Amino acid sequence: MLVLTFIRLLYSESDPALLKQFNLKSLAQDKYDYNTTVDSYTIKFNHLRSLTQTICDVPTCVVTKESSYNCECYGENSTVTWDEMPNNEGIYFKYTYKGFSVSYSSVVQYKCAKADKITAQEVYSPNMIITFETKFGCRLGGGIGWGWLFIIILFSSLALLFIIGIPINKFGRKKTGMEIVPFVYFWVGIPRMVMEGVKCIFSPCRRKQRGFDPLE
């Protein structure tokens, strides 16, 4: 599953408008780097800028895998692409680096969460997925869901129906009383239809069998 996730993340499309939906500017650090560990190695990364401290001989590295005697660059800032995470969980950035004999790639995911937590996993070395759970992975403003959007459209349409329909029925069609309400008999019949629906749920509807009158 992790391998399939990484393959999907490799094919990302960078939309500048997407960056405006997140507060990511404060993630870039000029005095320290973010780090975590994988086995006996230290994984370092920064956000859209080179690392402040690294033993790698590639000054443009954004993601590295380091030990006390070795360093491998897993991505340069100039190669960055980004896209949103599945299920609206946050945003991720992909970096690559071409070495002498092998190409490295890394994905840094900023996942929406209240508390900060950083984890990393190596997927078919040399590919790295770093997950940074942080509040900065949450979309700004939150927005509204499809459910609320449907409710807003529904009630707006009903309000428009009454605002336009009542004057038309009263002044245009010369109706009086309850009949000035658009589709008045439909609204009046709703309680009865609801009750019949409830009865049908708790007492399943059965088709009446046609009987015969006894012969006398």
Residues 80 and 128 both lie in one domain: yes
In a domain, 209, yes or no: no
Least Cα distance to 93 among 73, 103, 79 occurs for 79
Q: Which long-range contacts (CB under 8 A, 24 or more apart) does 80-83 make?
A: 80/14, 80/48, 81/12, 81/13, 81/14, 82/12, 82/14, 82/15, 82/18, 82/19, 83/9, 83/12, 83/13, 83/14, 83/15, 83/18
In a domain, 160, yes or no: yes
Residues 55 and 27 both lie in one domain: yes
% of the chain at pLDDT higher than 90: 39
Task: Work out the mean pLDDT of the chain and round it to a whole number.
Answer: 85
Least Cα distance to 119 among 35, 187, 49, 198 occurs for 35
Residue type, 127: N
List pLDDT tens digits, range 75-100: 999 999 999 998 889 999 999 999 88
Residues 151 and 118 both lie in one domain: no
In terms of residue numbers, what domain contains 187?
146-202
pTM of the model as a whole? 0.60
How many degrees, rounded to 5, is the angle at CA 14 between CA 11 and CA 18? 125
Residue 104, CB-side half-sphere exposure with 13 Å CA sphere: 20
* pLDDT bucket at 68, cuts 50 / 70 / 90: confident
List pLDDT tens digits, range 165-207: 999 998 998 888 888 999 888 888 889 888 888 888 887 655 5
> What pLDDT is attached to residue 138?
92
Residues 179 and 109 both lie in one domain: no
> Helix or strand or coil: residue 161?
helix
> What pLDDT is attached to residue 144?
63
Under 8 Å CB-to-CB from 54, ≥6 apart: which residues?
Answer: 33, 44, 61, 64, 66, 71
